[in-house]
Chain A
Amino acid sequence: MHELAVAQALVEQVDAVIDQHQASRAILIRVRIGPLAGVVPDLLATAFPLAAAGRRMDHAELEFTHAPIRVHCQTCGAETEAAMNRLLCGACGDWHTRILSGDELLLESVELETAPALPLES
């Protein structure tokens, strides 16, 4: 249920991006979530409209980029994919690994509708 808190943080960030680019609204929001971030994409998608209600993104599409879990083995040096609760090296099986990806929680990109240009005064 902390996804609502995450959705509120997302809305704040998108709002800042809209301001920064002097756009009128956001139409597509792309978020990258790794399984180890502890945020469930489906729940975030459910929470998002609540957090975005009345904001300049309330009709925006929320798109998720999958971030696979990849680990680097500090023993044999291999880079392999791993399961969420078995972050072992896929090559030698050692547990001395470091996460390369899979724990991201990123606002990746936003598509903005730019405000229509004001007609020039003649």
Chain B
Amino acid sequence: MCDTCGCNLTPGNKHLAFKPVSKGATAVSVLKDLLAKNDDQARHNRTHFDQHGILAINLMSSPGSGKTALLEATLTALKNEFTCAVIEGDLETENDAERIRAKGVQAHQIVTGTACHLDAHLVHDALHHMNLDGVDILFIENVGNLVCPASFDLGQHLNVTLLSVTEGDDKPAKYPVMFRAADAMLLTKTDLLAVLDDFDPDKAEAHLRNLANPAPVMRLSARKDMGMDAWLTWLREQFAAQRARVAIGQSRRPAIQSDGMKYHRATA
């Protein structure tokens, strides 16, 4: 599709391009994704990750659902297996990056000020402050927010969305844009299920399926080391899959941008 020769015109949109307009004016058909600039940068980031053989994972959830605690436990468990790096996104403070660095893992904090989400340009700038040589898995912890981060591609390969059991099990129904984008949904803090009578993990999963999302659902507690094995196994599989894609010059975009086409040729 291009903007110059008219090949983006289809019988379905032709009427928009040739609508009569007032004198002295011209109607121009554009049909370009509004976030094209962000998406171009995201593609550039993804190519960069692929060239380094890195698997990039975007973690999204509400504030306080345990993204950083999950990362702390995950980084400890994978310490001898993979070299990981973390980009942290928050409105203020270096607190999360410091928690990650305390685990001996490279971390860069993006302080967004008032912005409610990370975008591909912020991630690109962060990459310039990091040493990606030898990194296997890059975790990007997005700003805690179930709305805005879902609309911005960062260049990641996978979206992982957390839902803590102290939130409602109908969160996927309330925030469909976010949960539709998930390549995996993690139900976190499951050690608290015993004292909560209003969160049904099966219902949470059913709400996810209602969004036509086949993503695996894993139940875990990072603090109490419950259910972590399934998550770590999934990470290992995804890392192996990424290395296999890189070997044959392919890449992967997260669920949301799939457009029914799961893989696309790397533009490197």
Query: Which residues of chain B (10-42) have a CB below 8 Å from chain A?
Result: 13, 16-17, 19, 21, 24-38
- Knowing A5-B115, A37-B151, say if A17 contacts B212 (CB, 8 Å): no
Q: Which residues of B contact A116 (CB under 8 A)?
A: 24
Stretch at the interface among B170-178, B187-195, B243-251: B170-178
A36 at the interface (CB under 8 A from B): yes
B residues near A21, Cβ cutoff 8 Å: 26, 28
**Candidate in B25, B152, B174 with the most chain A CB atoms within 10 angstroms:** B25
Residues 155-212 of B at the A interface (beta carbon under 8 Å):
172-174, 176-178, 180, 207, 209-212
A85 CB within 8 Å of chain B: yes
Among residues of A, the one whose C-beta sits closest to the C-beta of B214 is A96
Please judge, given known A-B contacts A96-B214, A110-B28, whether A38 and B37 are in contact too, CB under 8 Å: no
B244 CB to closest chain A CB (Å) equals 25
B148 CB–A CB distance under 8 Å? yes
* B25 and A113 within 8 A (CB): yes
Instruction: Determine which of B21, B148, B212 lies in contact with A38 in the assembled complex, contact meaning CB atoms within 8 Å.
Output: B148
Cα–Cα distance between A105 and B153 once the two chains are bound (Å)? 13
Given contacts A9-B34, A38-B150, A71-B212, whether A17 and B28 have CB atoms under 8 Å apart is yes
**Chain B residues closer than 8 Å to A110, beta-carbon distance:** 27-28, 30
- Residues on A with C-beta less than 8 A from B108 are none
With known contacts A87-B211, A108-B13, A109-B16, A36–B26 Cβ distance under 8 A = no
Query: Are A111's CB and B177's CB within 8 A?
Result: no
Q: Any chain A CB within 8 A of the CB of B43?
A: no
Q: Check B210 against A112 for contact (C-beta < 8 Å).
A: no
Taken together as a complex, chains A and B put the C-alpha atoms of A112 and B27 apart, in Å, by 6
Check B176–A111 contact: CB distance below 8 A. Answer: no
Q: B119 contacts the other chain (Cβ, under 8 Å)?
A: yes
State in angstroms the CA–CA spacing of A87 and B255 once bound together.
15
Residue count of chain B within 8 Å CB distance of chain A = 45
Q: Does A50 contact B (CB under 8 A)?
A: no
Q: Is B252 an interface residue (CB 8 A)?
A: no
| CB of B113 within 8 Å of the partner chain | no
Answer yes or no: B225 CB below 8 A from chain A CBs.
no
Nearest residue (CB) in A for B26 is A112
Q: Are A95 and B210 in contact (CB under 8 A)?
A: yes
Closest Cβ of chain B to A66, distance in Å, is 13
Separation of A98 and B180 alpha carbons in the complex (Å): 11
Q: List 22 A-B contacts (CB under 8 A).
A: A1-B148, A5-B115, A6-B34, A6-B151, A9-B38, A13-B34, A17-B30, A20-B3, A31-B34, A38-B177, A85-B174, A86-B173, A95-B209, A98-B212, A105-B35, A107-B30, A109-B17, A109-B29, A111-B21, A111-B26, A111-B28, A116-B24
B binding-site residues for A, Cβ under 8 Å: 3, 13, 16-17, 19, 21, 24-38, 115-117, 119, 147-148, 150-152, 172-174, 176-178, 180, 207, 209-212, 214, 256, 260
10 more CB-based (< 8 A) A-B contacts, given A5-B115, A71-B212: A2-B115, A9-B38, A27-B25, A39-B34, A85-B207, A86-B173, A86-B210, A106-B32, A109-B27, A112-B28
